[in-house]
């Protein structure tokens, strides 16, 4: 079943077109990767899905409903959460205070404690550091906190924008293992990631963007085996 459908969207920053007639479909469950070089339009697409940027043309449907013109808080209420590039934590607030900020929707607010406990069971380290300032955490712990904050909102779809950025290799593996676990738990994951081999390796489907267009799509395994993609993005 298709949970998110993007139809022929054009996005501009002023006179500069950054997404050009882009269409893609996200099936419910599992991981879909969006890969491409810097400036390909990946983060713009994520912000467009969340309503932070509005397309000049085209449509975005979520669960069969048109959400193109909806505000970000309305889209979050419907069940889409973003884990932003750079994590977006408030460094002087505690870990728990940052997590609670995720409970902005009406249905999530009523279950804040229950959802906090669920996040702490997924990330025991966050429970240990719940009263610690978020800015004092390691990069990997901050990423866990950012993912946890998204989960507090009770999303159906989680957008992850460059979750491995700036992390040590061992923490990259931990974060990717967590993303796989979330998919196994029934969340639909849309993953934007510079680490092409790692992201496609855990994805059931992938899209390759170039200059705001989809230039290639297929299963994660098929894209990894594609000679053109391997030369362009993997250097082999």
Over residues 134-187, the pLDDT tens digits come to 999 998 899 999 999 999 999 999 999 999 888 888 888 888 999 999 999 999
Q: Does an H or E element contain 84, and which? A: none
Full-model pTM: 0.92
| Burial tier of 209 (Cβ tally within 10 Å: 0-12, 13-18, 19+) | buried
Q: Where in the chain is the domain with CATH 3.40.50.300?
A: 1-79+159-236
Q: Which residue(s) pair with 217 in the sheet?
A: 207
Q: Give, as one character, the DSSP assignment of residue 70.
A: -
The topology under which CATH files domain 1-79+159-236 is Rossmann fold (3.40.50)
| pLDDT per residue as tens digits for the range 63-118 | 999 999 999 999 999 999 999 888 889 999 999 999 999 887 777 777 888 989 99
What CA–CA distance (Å, rounded) separates 107 from 123? 23
Least confident of 23-32, 47-56, 83-92: 83-92
Handedness of CA 216, 219, 223, 225 (dihedral sign): negative
Reply yes or no on whether the pLDDT at 121 is more than 70.
yes
What CA–CA distance (Å, rounded) separates 207 from 49? 15
């Amino acid at each position: 079943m298709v949970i998110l459908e993007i139809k022929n969207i054009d996005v501009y920053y002023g006179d500069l077109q950054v997404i050009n007639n882009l269409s893609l479909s996200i099936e419910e469950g599992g991981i879909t990767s969006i890969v491409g070089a810097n400036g390909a339009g990946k983060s713009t697409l994520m912000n467009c899905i969340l309503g932070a940027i509005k397309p000049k043309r085209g449509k975005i449907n979520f669960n069969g409903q048109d959400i193109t013109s909806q505000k970000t808080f309305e889209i979050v209420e419907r069940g889409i959460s973003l884990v932003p590039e750079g994590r977006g934590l408030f460094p002087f607030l505690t870990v728990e205070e940052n997590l609670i900020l995720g409970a902005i929707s009406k249905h999530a607010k009523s279950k804040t404690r229950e959802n906090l406990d669920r996040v702490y069971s997924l990330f025991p380290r966050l429970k240990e550091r719940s009263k610690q300032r978020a800015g004092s955490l390691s990069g990997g712990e901050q990423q866990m906190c950012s993912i946890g904050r998204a989960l507090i909102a009770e999303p159906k779809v989680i957008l992850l924008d460059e979750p491995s950025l700036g992390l040590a290799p061992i923490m990259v593996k931990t974060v990717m293992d967590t993303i796989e676990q979330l998919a196994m738990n029934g969340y639909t994951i849309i993953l934007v990631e510079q680490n092409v081999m790692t992201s496609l390796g855990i994805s059931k489907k992938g899209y390759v963007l170039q200059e705001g267009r989809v230039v290639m799509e297929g299963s994660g395994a098929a894209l990894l085996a594609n000679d053109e993609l391997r030369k362009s993005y993997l250097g082999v």
